Every structure is written in structure tokens, then in C-alpha cells.
Amino acid sequence: MTPKLPRIMANAFGSNLREDQVLVQFSAALKILTNKYEIYITSSTQLNRSAKDNENQGTTALRGGSATAFKVDYGLMIFRATSKDYDNLKHITSFKWM
């Protein structure tokens, strides 16, 4: 049995789309709805496998790629802090406030 969203997308576009293409089209449709009805919609998506690499913690880490990031008004990506991050913040975390 074909899941509903891929089946709807295949009917709309005449072919089977990859998962990232479905996510981009879904993001675009949500954006159109928010503009049409002047409403706020919050949504989220997952990161791809390469997101764990420190070099790939930008928009390319999004499942669906940078195209998804271009459809949002505001975005937030959260990653675990690495030991390098903690080292870079030592001058702040070791500061004596009182």
C-alpha cells in the first residue's frame, strides 16, 4: 500500500517524487497557505545523516536540502555542542560575575 502523501504527489506531478522533492513541494504549499490566509504555521523537518559532521551544519544538513530552507521566514537549527564549541566558550563560562 502506498502512503497517502507520496500517492497524492505522484497524482499531482504525474510521477513518483523522491522524499526530498516531496518535502520541498510540501514546504512550498504551506508557504502559499500562510500567505493566502495571513496565518502563522509552524512546522519542522528532519536532518539528513551528514548533519552530524561539523562541516555540514548549514542549510545543506536539512532533509530536502537548501531548497527547503529558502521557503521559510524564520528557521532554527539546533546541534549538540562539541568539545571544540566548549573550548571556544571557555572565556565566557569561566568569567566570575560576582
Q: Reduce the DSSP state of residue 1 to 3 states and report it.
A: coil
In the chain, what are the domain boundaries?
Answer: 4-93
The mean pLDDT value for 20-37 works out to: 84
65: left (phi over 0), alpha (psi -120 to 50) or beta: left
Task: Indicate the range of 14-18, 25-29, 73-77, 93-97 predicted with least confidence.
Answer: 14-18
The mean pLDDT value for 64-72 works out to: 71
- The whole-chain average pLDDT of the chain stands at 79
* Per-residue model confidence (pLDDT) at position 1: 47
Torsion angle (degrees, nearest 10) of CA 85, 62, 59, 72? -120
Distance between CA 17 and CA 1 in Å, rounded?
16
pLDDT of 2 higher than 60: no
Helical axes 4-13 vs 19-37, angle rounded to 10°: 80
* Per-residue model confidence (pLDDT) at position 71: 72
* Partners of 62 in the β-ladder: 47
